[in-house]
Structure 1
Amino acid sequence: MSGSLFADASKRLEKALKYVAISEDAGERLKYPKNSLSVSIPVRMDDGSLRIFQGYRVRYDDTRGPGKGGVRYHPKVSLDEVQSLAFWMTFKCALLNLPFGGAKGGITLNPKALTKAELERLSRGYIEAIADFIGPDIDILAPDVYTNEMIMGWMMDQYSIIQRKISPGVVTGKPVTMGGSVGRNTATGTGAFYLLQAMLPKFEQYPSNTTLAVQGFGNAGMVVAELLYQAGYKVLAISDSQGGIYNEQGLNIPEIIQHKREHRSLAGMYCDETVCNLGDNLQISNEDLLALPVDVLIPAALENQITAANAKQVQARYIFEVANGPTTSEADAILAARGIPVFPDILVNAGGVTVSYFEWVQNRSGLYWSVAEVNERLQTRLVAEAESVWRIAQEFGVSLRTAAYIQALNRLGEALDAKGTRDYYASKA
């Protein structure tokens, strides 16, 4: 296993393997990705120049069903990162008992530096390059960091052009008018909210006595912050890539969302700008936010935000990971020693892939559900799996992260072992 992020992610697997009775064959197969694809994507820019972008798609495991995972556009996208994300998706899908394997994709770029027309050409070029690698029964795409339903619509349309047939099931998170599911765009944040509401009472934390900080104010962070605010929780701080704001009396999340949508960042939300009516909010950095004395910290940005370097400064009592991989394995050990429970990413942010599954099912059946039906199904499935993870953690005396991997490993192991193991082939019966 090469690559620091993937090596760190794999440590979670090694720890959980001690508590499961899966075969040696299954454990070995889960240490390596099944397929990895690197592609070059030529794009004619608006000024007539030609640029080549690097893209990736990794299908980590498809024992339980076709690969499933998002596509992210970000300057730091690398094969190591995409492989790690596909690894996490494998266990996330198994944990939620979805009939999918794990996959992920990405393109290395700053999407904010491209025009909409250039982004469309790039997105369609990516599908041209990986078309033989994906499909409704092979590997299904979805939005991720800096991709959205419009980009998913371009990708689905391009795949359909290549296949010469309408293929809505190859992509989830697409526009509703193109076969998308209602509730998918907000599913990650909505699912995280359902899980917080179900788990916090175990610690006697209720809306009236719980303060929170949300790092990352993209789609998922924005949705969970707004739902928490509406439920009566006090959100003291939020941040995006440009910085954050803090108010010990609590932030007015709906007003902040309106400003964010109008100005595309939180940077202007101070009294020396034009929005003094938003209150006396203090400017803070992302690093400051992670160290705030709140009850609940919600990292909803990128990987490796809580590390060995800053884990001792975390003052939150509980952490709910909405981002993928925001806590390193070294930080996990520090937080555990300090008695800070970490609800893991593969559970907390699983709302997105769960509703992606619902969308895929709707595409295949041609029957579409209301947003109330989608959210009810999401809440039922996510809370049930969270309760299972909680019971496993109590039973084995392990962290919630290890408990989540134990649950996922048991399901993956059963599927892998069904294809035959060393013990099966060595037996004389």
Structure 2
Amino acid sequence: MKGREFLETVRKRIDKAADYLDFGSDSVNLLKTPRRTVVVSIPIRMDNGRIEAFTGYKVQHNMSRGPYKGGIRYHPDVTMDGMKALAALMTFKCAVADVPYGGGKGGVTCDPKKLSRNELERITRRYTSMIFEELGPNKDVPAPDVYTDDQTMAWLMDTYSQFKGYQVPEVATGKPIEVGGSEGRTESTGLGVAICTREAARHKNMNIEKLDVVIQGFGKVGKSVARELRKKGCNIIAVSDSKSGIYNPDGFDIDELIDYKVKNDQLTGFQGAEEITNEELLRMECDVLIPAAIENQINSKNADEIRAKIISEGANGPTTAEAYKILSEKGILVVPDILANSGGVIVSYQEWVQNRHREHWESNRIYKNLEERMVKSFNSVFETHEELEVDLPTAALIQAVDKVLTAHNLEGLFP
């Protein structure tokens, strides 16, 4: 989806949720525009000696419930409008998960696959220095996103700390454990998606141990949710990455598949698999479809062809507003992004708290807290879904908008 279309989709979702609440249009409109946007030029010296300038963005959407929180993305399609949309979704995701953050997002327009490790480090450190004034443990706390990882956050944290003159691990989350990262952070988003999938299956009286699952996107989230659902007894029959998809009606050995993907940087050629396109994967008959790639994958053009019983959104914004309506009319239960993939921000919050107290918690404590928060959020959204007779995406956003605007109105306007 182009950035402008993505932003308009998010704004439509806000309007739909607001129809069920008593806030005036002036208050609702505040959620359609971010509080602050920053565009920076990031000149770096490439490995060949040439200087190349990249464009970086930082969007801070809303801070009524706490510091801005959101990932930093490195991708050729990064745009300001796309960052605005994702920052808004982060505000709502934090509200649904009931963690004390607002929403933010950052990104650099580049192709990480064509950059060396040294070039990525230079981009990260220069970008961090350019947005330094916007960052801080009580102001804006970034995390990894598409094509960024724990190493990216280590570079960001170190750069920020060099400016401050002392180490500030709580300025970012998703870091390596050795420099203040949390147990469970790497797999937390996928684990949260798996928990929501289990809860959705329970509400539809489906046995989690016998579900056929299709996963679009086999990056950080796709891999972890595949592993977690396989542990629960699900049969992962199809997966895809940005290049192609593969299918096996008998299901995949997920550990072998992950190893193959890591070694070959592709899924094509995996033994015993039939190659399929991403479009064929989305239309495949299955119990659960997990879009864990990028935005706008399920839209008005293909929504009527979706044959899953449950959709659990691992990506941010994978479904358009028009597609949500079609899916609801087809009786497909959609667990929306701001609920399904909130596991990442829940464990990010725990990492932030650990850093502020200079503590390191055991994994059992992390997983227990994640399980409790995800189930509580799911049940709360499901109650709203039943009470107001709306789909889950609308129910989740009703709750989020209510929490954010209630906080905003209590704080009032300054000056």
TM bucket (normalised to shorter chain) is over 0.9
Moved over 4 A (4+): none
Q: Which residue of structure 2 aligns with residue 99 of structure 1? A: 100
Q: Structure 1 pair 179/208, CA: closer, same or farther in 2 (3 Å)?
A: closer
Preserved contact between residue 304 and residue 325 of structure 1 (Cα < 8 Å): yes
Letter in 2 for 1:300: A
Deviation at 1:93, TM superposition (A): 0.6
Preserved contact between residue 96 and residue 350 of structure 1 (Cα < 8 Å): yes
In structure 2, C-alpha distance between the alignment counterparts of 1:31 and 1:204, rounded to whole Å: 38
Preserved contact between residue 343 and residue 401 of structure 1 (Cα < 8 Å): yes
Letter in 2 for 1:72: R
Q: Which residue of structure 2 aligns with residue 348 of structure 1? A: 340
1:16-66 C-alpha deviation (Å, 9 max, x unpaired):
111123355432321211000111100100110010001101000011111
Q: Which residue of structure 2 aligns with residue 373 of structure 1? A: 365
In structure 1, C-alpha distance between the alignment counterparts of 2:169 and 2:209, rounded to whole Å: 44
In structure 2, C-alpha distance between the alignment counterparts of 1:19 and 1:330, rounded to whole Å: 18
Q: Which residue of structure 2 aligns with residue 322 of structure 1? A: 314
In structure 2, C-alpha distance between the alignment counterparts of 1:158 and 1:419, rounded to whole Å: 33
Q: Which residue of structure 1 aligns with residue 286 of structure 2? A: 294
1:76-118 C-alpha deviation (Å, 9 max, x unpaired):
0100111100010010011111111000001111101011111
1:193-212 C-alpha deviation (Å, 9 max, x unpaired):
12212221111111343111
- Helix, strand or coil at the partner of 2:286: coil
In structure 1, C-alpha distance between the alignment counterparts of 2:322 and 2:31, rounded to whole Å: 22
Q: Which residue of structure 1 aligns with residue 15 of structure 2? A: 14
Aligned pair partner of 1:399 in 366, 369, 391: 391
Q: Which residue of structure 1 aligns with residue 228 of structure 2? A: 227
1:389 aligns with 2:381: yes
In structure 1, C-alpha distance between the alignment counterparts of 2:182 and 2:400, rounded to whole Å: 26
Structure 1 range deviating more: 244-253 or 83-92: 244-253
1:202 aligns with 2:194: no
Preserved contact between residue 207 and residue 234 of structure 1 (Cα < 8 Å): no
1:332-368 C-alpha deviation (Å, 9 max, x unpaired):
1211221212110000000001111000011111122
Deviation at 1:304, TM superposition (A): 0.5
Q: Which residue of structure 2 aligns with residue 69 of structure 1? A: 70
Preserved contact between residue 89 and residue 101 of structure 1 (Cα < 8 Å): yes
1:365-412 C-alpha deviation (Å, 9 max, x unpaired):
112211111011011011101000000000000010010011112211
Deviation at 1:249, TM superposition (A): 1.4
- Helix, strand or coil at the partner of 2:308: coil
In structure 2, C-alpha distance between the alignment counterparts of 1:52 and 1:268, rounded to whole Å: 37
Preserved contact between residue 92 and residue 103 of structure 2 (Cα < 8 Å): yes
Q: Which residue of structure 2 aligns with residue 145 of structure 1? A: 146
1:409 aligns with 2:401: yes
Aligned length: 412
In structure 1, C-alpha distance between the alignment counterparts of 2:268 and 2:50, rounded to whole Å: 33
In structure 1, C-alpha distance between the alignment counterparts of 2:282 and 2:398, rounded to whole Å: 28
Preserved contact between residue 293 and residue 318 of structure 2 (Cα < 8 Å): yes
In structure 1, C-alpha distance between the alignment counterparts of 2:372 and 2:118, rounded to whole Å: 40
1:228-268 C-alpha deviation (Å, 9 max, x unpaired):
11211111100111111101111111110111121122123
TM-score, scaled relative to structure 2: 0.97
Letter in 2 for 1:11: K
Structure 1 range deviating more: 311-320 or 394-403: 311-320
- Helix, strand or coil at the partner of 1:186: helix
Deviation at 1:414, TM superposition (A): 1.5
- Helix, strand or coil at the partner of 2:215: strand
Structure 1 range deviating more: 308-317 or 351-360: 308-317
Preserved contact between residue 209 and residue 232 of structure 2 (Cα < 8 Å): no
Q: Which residue of structure 1 aligns with residue 187 of structure 2? A: 186
- Helix, strand or coil at the partner of 1:54: strand
In structure 1, C-alpha distance between the alignment counterparts of 2:199 and 2:308, rounded to whole Å: 19
In structure 2, C-alpha distance between the alignment counterparts of 1:203 and 1:293, rounded to whole Å: 17
Q: Which residue of structure 1 aligns with residue 295 of structure 2? A: 303
In structure 2, C-alpha distance between the alignment counterparts of 1:192 and 1:318, rounded to whole Å: 12
In structure 2, C-alpha distance between the alignment counterparts of 1:4 and 1:84, rounded to whole Å: 9
Q: Which residue of structure 2 aligns with residue 273 of structure 1? A: none
- Helix, strand or coil at the partner of 1:65: coil
Preserved contact between residue 23 and residue 413 of structure 1 (Cα < 8 Å): no
1:176-209 C-alpha deviation (Å, 9 max, x unpaired):
1111111111110011112212221111111343
